[in-house]
A = this chain, B = another copy of it.
Amino acid sequence: MAQKPSIAKGTRDFGPEEVNKRNYIISTIKSHFETFGFMPIETPSFENSETLMGKYGDEGDRLIFKILNSGDYLSKVDDALYTKKDASALTSRISEKALRYDLTVPFARYVVMHQNEIDLPFKRYQVQPVWRADRPQKGRFREFYQCDADVVGSTSLWQEVEFIQLYDTVFSSLGVEGVTIKLNNRKILSGIAEVIGAKDKLIDFTVALDKLDKIGEDGVKKEMLEKGITEMAIEKVQPLFSFTGSNGSKLESLKTMLSTSDEGLKGVEELSFILTAIDALGLKTSNLELDVTLARGLNYYTGAIIEVAAPERVKIGSIGGGGRYDDLTGIFGLKNVSGVGISFGLDRIYLVLDELGLFPPSVTTTTEVLFLNFGQNEALYGLKAVKALRESGIKAELYPDDTKMKKQMNYANKRGIPFVVLAGESEMDKNTFTLKNMNSGTQDEVDITALIESLRA
């Protein structure tokens, strides 16, 4: 019995239309990465396990896909350890490689290993799949693409300004108008924690604050109390739960609130620089919003924190994010290399474009013309014309079998091919082709030059 095939849980096949739509997004992003001076790199799909393990927390370690060693992988496992039948102890003995979990850690490895070939600041982009052993659920996959741009080796805040411009440029260019680019700074969060006297609980504090949208003010406060942050401390932070107004007035309010924290004031200064520059440069279609509740899951941001929310009419949440991490490559022994970068969420952007009908029709264009097949001589005659059309960049095909005309026409219809060419003995005698428009049904008898011209138009 032949097996009934299935696809691995949490993974997807992409048919022609989906690939074309995904590539449209990817190539739009890439083209702007390039005008902004970013250069492409690619790293391998799997890394030595020690490169990845321990970089994403315990949860991350669990979600990393490990690759089984090849050959007799048990021969090097000693019996004492083997007998324990302890998966977590056995793993490192039978698996030395793991699938990429994100693009940031492999990039850090890349920078360290290639530091002598790289000129700092180094602006790289990378668009590749990553893999996570998450429980598959709606909209969450075990294989998905990340589209990242990062700069390493510069602490200049112009980078942050550039990244905000880049987000605005890409989303405007995709037609996704009205995204909100949210901006915060880790130093603001640290400053707040300092001012309220809960400096040692910064992570708890930010993790709780980050949930404001989801669990509301009461939920956040409850979580903070559970984590040992005092009511008095929470009292001091009260204004943050209803922070409205212009970015400028928010900044003023923060400046007052954080007046006793050097780090907090540094954060205010950084935000101020970025907001002023963006004001002067302008944004095409996006909104920039100072959002002090923005913390994001990752603990490694040390400066700017950025997140992009889809336009409000699309209920889809974050479609991109990033920030600055002052010691990107320290984990691999190269100190004091600051990094700042952003990421585009391909799958969600796809959903946004689909929902808003923003994919240009040309993206899904398939073959433009199908030559019907009336037999060997006619096919050869047609194929000569097909060859000429392709040389003019026109997507052209010959139906491979000289079956019934109806079947061939059906095939053209089903595939949405807009034109067919009929060329039988009569056309061959006159060196012409009958071009049929599948939408209007009209037919024209033309020579090869006119055929190319009509299909080009």
The smallest beta-carbon distance between A93 and chain B, in angstroms, is 11
A20 sits at the interface (CB 8 A): yes
Complex: how many Å from CA A354 to CA B379? 38
Instruction: Name which residue of chain B comes closest to A82, CB basis.
Output: B85
Mask, A21-43, CB within 8 Å of B = 1, is 00100000000101111011111
Contact assessment for B5 and A113 in the assembled complex, using a CB-CB cutoff below 8 Å: yes
A50 sits at the interface (CB 8 A): yes
The smallest beta-carbon distance between A411 and chain B, in angstroms, is 6
Within 8 Å CB of A15, what residues of B?
A: 41, 114, 117
Complex: how many Å from CA A70 to CA B395? 45
A80 sits at the interface (CB 8 A): no
- State the number of copies, please: 2
Instruction: Name which residue of chain B comes closest to A4, CB basis.
Output: B333
Complex: how many Å from CA A82 to CA B82? 9
A441 sits at the interface (CB 8 A): no
Within 8 Å CB of A437, what residues of B?
A: none
Mask, A60-76, CB within 8 Å of B = 1, is 00110111101111110
Interface footprint category on A = 35 or more
Neighbour of A281 across the interface among B159, B367, B384, CB < 8 A: B384
Contact assessment for B41 and A2 in the assembled complex, using a CB-CB cutoff below 8 Å: no
Mask, A100-114, CB within 8 Å of B = 1, is 000000000110111
Within 8 Å CB of A457, what residues of B?
A: none
Which residues of chain A from 310 to 333 have a CB within 8 Å of any chain B CB?
330-333
A151 sits at the interface (CB 8 A): yes
Can you list 25 A-B contacts with CB-CB less than 8 angstroms, sorted by A residue number? A2-B331, A3-B50, A4-B333, A6-B48, A8-B97, A12-B44, A15-B114, A16-B41, A23-B40, A35-B390, A46-B65, A65-B70, A66-B68, A68-B91, A71-B87, A74-B86, A74-B87, A79-B85, A119-B415, A154-B400, A156-B400, A158-B400, A280-B380, A281-B384, A281-B387
Give me the interface of A with B, judged by CB distance under 8 Å.
1-8, 11-16, 19-20, 23, 32, 34-37, 39-48, 50-51, 62-63, 65-68, 70-75, 77, 79, 82, 85-88, 90-91, 94-95, 97, 99, 109-110, 112-114, 117, 119, 121, 123-124, 129, 131, 133, 143, 151, 154-156, 158-159, 161-162, 165, 169, 277, 280-281, 330-333, 366-367, 373, 379-380, 383-384, 387, 389-390, 393-398, 400-401, 411, 414-415
